[in-house]
């Protein structure tokens, strides 16, 4: 084998920044990540004490504020900002699925192996015993389902967050203008529609637009909080954690925790958006701006609730704004509240894009088309299909629930479940990935699982009142992703098992052409033969002494392959050595062989764009003329567009190096053949294999329904080649029965 091309680092890394770039990144996080948790003051206190309920006593308010303060401190600040962000993947991604990815990372892969078409025997293993399952193998599927369920609920949260936040902000208009209270729903829908329509411009541009607005929002929260605290400075007693304990022992009102939970919504977005930024920038922004602003805002609202009681209870946020209810400050805060909630919706939309990208890369969803929107950060993406689905679902939620109070009942369940899933997965990572002692994992798991469990139990009681919506969405999404992971895994396993050593079924003629010695025995005119995989030569077990040689097939039946003066590019959908099954299928259906054959594998690397002269790495098969393995190195913002001329140039450059005496004739023949090129892509026609054992008929029927009735048509709708650019008349789909 001979090779040319540059090696690339195909491992994506989290961005490392310092100085002004880090501060800029930290400022940008305000516009994308923190508006979700930052808009919670709009509805949290009314979630604890509903407008229709009695006015709480001073001690109850102090206890409720204490519960909010310590929840924000322990969960967003300690658990997520200072602990969870350390458990992102090496690629810089966060979220529950990234935690699973950290436990089961993809194996390191040498791209040169994808270009290896000969040199190793592809025979079934002769080992007759099964290795005992390891502990990691045993817990893989339970942890995968947990991670997928957490991811599914975060995606469901991406629907509810825009609905709750925007509706809560818009409803404030009824405080000043009661006559337009009936228009809250259509106004909210109009704002949400505009938000989803601008997603295509990209995270970075939206962050620069939104960050100043969010910064002003947090500044206003802090200022109004300080002013309101002067009405009752005694609210600082809320920093005493015994106040929250006394609250629940005195009232026995466990349901209040469901309202407190609303104060920490956004934790999952904070972690899931790690891929859009980096850990240090998120920590700086939260610790310096977000956390103190929120604490001051809640203390100020509590002080006004204690001092003014019935006057502010109907809408604690808007009625506690200093000054007149219809004054300038009221309308300034109203405008910024609407803008902030729109940006809060952006946080979950962006997190949803990141999570879907992770799930697609791990082959747990069909390959939906992604659009990268930044040349600097690979994680900043836009997914059109997901954007429009979120838009429709969010508008339906707003129209169905009609009010922010009803929506908030459905809101907390998804957050609490995702927080618990994160705690479990991080505990496993502490032991299995960080290699820390078990006691340290327990030190993390016990307290945070306790807090998560308290919130989850309180939110569970909200299922009859609306929490069934995210639960239903989460279950459906989790079932879909689990099913796709299983079915796609079977198809990829079939593809890997059916790879072949090129020299096991392609043989040279026995007589070399007159020109072959002149060009070092690699004459493109030499006749090639196809050895049927069913022939005795191929069914015979290969000895341990080495690879079966071409000479051993001399007495076997051969079928001559007609050489066509064209170029064919066979696309390898999964990584690995050997010739893909699509090539064997092509030879069977068309008993001919193009003069130039290219086996193409694709690798996306951690740069935005790859220079033209570095895109293709070429390996030539010296023993079988006309065969080449090519790796197409693609930047994450490059369009998939295989330019055959560029590939041919690389092949010709390699010929100049390996055949200095006769490369001119070879290059002429290669370029003549390349004037007509065709892309060959496999199309697997999935067929379910029968199952033996108990209830075999029922199990076989269910398996067939899942694979042939559901997976096969969906996989046909979303082929892995769907994002490839090029004319349809240049592509041949080779149909192959995949019995899996």
Residue 538, pLDDT score: 39
Structure token digits, residue 687: 């067929």
Query: Taking Cα atoms as reference points, which of 258, 241, 233 lies closest to residue 49?
Result: 258
Same domain assignment for residues 168 and 238: yes
- The average confidence (pLDDT) of the chain is 80
Residue 407 lies in a domain: yes
Q: Tell me the β-bridge partners of 562.
A: 592
Same domain assignment for residues 225 and 97: yes
The CATH number given to whatever domain includes residue 269 is 1.20.1740
Q: Determine the Cα–Cα distance for residues 123 and 125; give it in Å rounded to an integer.
A: 6
Residue 486 lies in a domain: no
Same domain assignment for residues 447 and 591: no
Same domain assignment for residues 443 and 592: no
Residue 15 lies in a domain: no
Digit-coded pLDDT (tens) for 618-674: 998 887 888 999 999 877 666 677 888 899 999 998 888 887 777 788 888 899 888
Mean pLDDT for 250-275 is 82
> How many folded domains does the chain comprise?
2
Same domain assignment for residues 454 and 521: no
Predicted TM-score (pTM) of the model is: 0.78
Position 78 confidence tier, pLDDT thresholds 50, 70, 90: very high
Residue 113 lies in a domain: no
Digit-coded pLDDT (tens) for 488-498: 989 888 888 88
Residue 77, pLDDT score: 93
**Last residue of a domain, which of 466, 483, 506?**
466
User: Is 180 a residue whose pLDDT tops 70?
Assistant: no
Mean pLDDT for 56-73 is 95
Sign of CA dihedral 302, 307, 310, 314: negative
Same domain assignment for residues 328 and 196: yes
Residue 723, pLDDT score: 53
Position 233 confidence tier, pLDDT thresholds 50, 70, 90: very high
Structure token digits, residue 663: 């490369």
Digit-coded pLDDT (tens) for 386-431: 888 888 988 888 887 766 566 666 667 778 888 998 999 999 999 9
Residue 459 lies in a domain: yes
Mean pLDDT for 450-469 is 84
Beta pairing, strands 616-620 & 2-4: antiparallel
Residue 475 lies in a domain: no
Residue 115 lies in a domain: no
Q: Determine the Cα–Cα distance for residues 450 and 417; give it in Å rounded to an integer.
A: 13
Q: Which long-range contacts (CB under 8 A, 24 or more apart) does 231-234 make?
A: 231/303, 231/304, 231/306, 231/307, 231/308, 232/302, 232/303, 232/304, 232/306, 232/307, 233/303, 234/58, 234/62, 234/306
Q: CA dist 580 to 109, 306, 498, Å?
A: 17, 73, 7
Residue 132, pLDDT score: 52
Same domain assignment for residues 241 and 337: yes
Q: CA dist 444 to 77, 145, 241, 306, 439, Å?
A: 14, 22, 20, 36, 9
How much of the chain, in percent, has pLDDT values that exceed 70? 80
| Containing structural domain, residue 619 | 498-739
Digit-coded pLDDT (tens) for 79-118: 999 998 888 665 556 778 778 878 887 676 677 888 888 8
Residue 410, pLDDT score: 66
């Amino acid at each position: 084998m001979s090779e040319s091309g540059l090696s690339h680092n195909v491992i994506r890394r989290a961005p490392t920044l310092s100085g002004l770039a880090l501060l800029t990144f930290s400022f940008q996080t305000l516009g994308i990540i923190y508006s979700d948790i930052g808009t919670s003051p709009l509805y949290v206190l009314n979630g604890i004490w509903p407008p229709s309920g009695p006015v709480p006593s001073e001690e109850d308010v102090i206890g409720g504020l204490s519960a909010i303060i310590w929840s924000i401190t322990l969960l967003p600040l300690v658990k997520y900002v200072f602990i969870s962000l350390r458990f992102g993947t090496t690629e810089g991604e966060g979220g529950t699925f990234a935690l699973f990815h950290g436990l089961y990372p993809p194996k390191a892969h040498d791209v040169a192996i994808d270009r290896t078409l000969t040199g190793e025997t592809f025979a079934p293993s002769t080992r007759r015993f099964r290795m005992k399952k390891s502990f990691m193998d045993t817990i893989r599927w339970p942890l995968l389902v947990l991670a997928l369920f957490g991811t599914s609920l975060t995606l469901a949260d991406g629907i509810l967050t825009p609905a709750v936040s925007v509706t809560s902000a818009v409803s404030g208009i009824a405080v000043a203008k009661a006559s337009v209270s009936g228009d809250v729903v259509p106004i909210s829908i109009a704002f949400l529609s505009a938000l989803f329509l601008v997603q295509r411009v990209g995270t970075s541009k939206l962050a620069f637009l939104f960050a100043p607005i969010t910064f002003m929002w947090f500044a206003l929260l802090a200022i109004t909080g300080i002013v309101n605290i002067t009405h009752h400075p005694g609210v600082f007693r809320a920093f005493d954690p015994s106040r929250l304990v006394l609250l629940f022992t005195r009232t026995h009102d466990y349901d209040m925790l469901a309202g407190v939970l609303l104060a920490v919504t956004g934790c999952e977005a904070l972690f899931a958006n790690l891929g859009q930024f980096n850990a240090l920038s998120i920590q700086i922004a939260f610790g310096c701006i977000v956390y103190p602003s929120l604490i001051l805002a809640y203390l100020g609202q509590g002080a006004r609730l204690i001092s003014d009681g019935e006057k502010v209870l109907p809408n604690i946020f808007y009625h506690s704004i200093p000054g007149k209810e219809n004054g300038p400050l009221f309308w300034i805060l109203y405008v910024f509240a609407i803008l902030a909630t729109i940006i809060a919706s952006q946080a979950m939309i962006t997190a949803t894009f990141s999570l879907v990208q992770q799930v697609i890369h791990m082959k747990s969803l069909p390959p939906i088309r992604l659009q990268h929107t930044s040349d600097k950060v690979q994680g900043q993406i836009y997914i059109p299909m997901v954007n429009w689905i979120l838009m429709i679902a969010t508008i339906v939620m707003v129209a169905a629930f009609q009010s922010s109070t009803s929506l908030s009942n459905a809101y907390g369940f998804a957050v609490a479940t995702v927080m618990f899933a994160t705690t479990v997965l991080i505990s496993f990572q502490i032991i299995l990935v960080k290699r820390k002692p078990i006691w340290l994992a327990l030190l993390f798991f016990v307290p945070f699982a306790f807090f998560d469990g308290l919130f989850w139990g309180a939110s569970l009681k909200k299922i009859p009142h609306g929490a069934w919506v995210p639960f239903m969405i989460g279950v459906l999404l989790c079932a879909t992703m689990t099913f796709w992971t299983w079915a796609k895994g079977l198809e990829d396993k079939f593809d890997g098992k059916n790879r072949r050593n090129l020299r096991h079924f392609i043989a040279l003629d026995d007589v070399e052409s007159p020109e072959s010695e002149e060009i070092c025995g690699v004459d493109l005119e030499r006749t090639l033969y196809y050895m049927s995989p069913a022939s005795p030569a191929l069914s015979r077990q290969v000895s341990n002494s080495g690879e079966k040689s071409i000479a051993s097939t001399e007495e076997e039946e051969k079928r001559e392959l007609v050489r066509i003066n064209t170029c064919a590019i066979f696309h390898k959908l999964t990584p690995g050595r050997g010739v893909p099954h699509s090539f064997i299928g092509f030879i069977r259906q068309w008993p001919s062989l193009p003069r130039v054959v290219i086996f193409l594998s694709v690798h996306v690397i951690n740069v935005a764009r790859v220079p033209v002269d570095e895109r293709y790495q070429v390996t030539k098969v010296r023993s079988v003329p006309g065969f080449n393995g090519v790796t197409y190195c693609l930047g994450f913002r490059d369009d998939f567009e295989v330019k055959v001329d560029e590939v041919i140039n690389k092949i010709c450059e390699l010929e100049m190096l390996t055949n200095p005496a006769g490369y001119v004739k070879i290059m002429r023949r290669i370029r003549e053949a390349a004037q007509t090129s065709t892309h060959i892509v496999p199309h697997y026609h999935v067929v379910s294999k029968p199952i033996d054992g108990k209830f075999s008929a029922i199990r076989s029927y269910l398996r067939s329904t899942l694979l042939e009735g559901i997976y096969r048509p969906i996989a046909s709708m979303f082929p892995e080649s769907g994002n490839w650019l090029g004319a349809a008349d240049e592509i041949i789909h080779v149909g192959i029965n995949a019995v899996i």
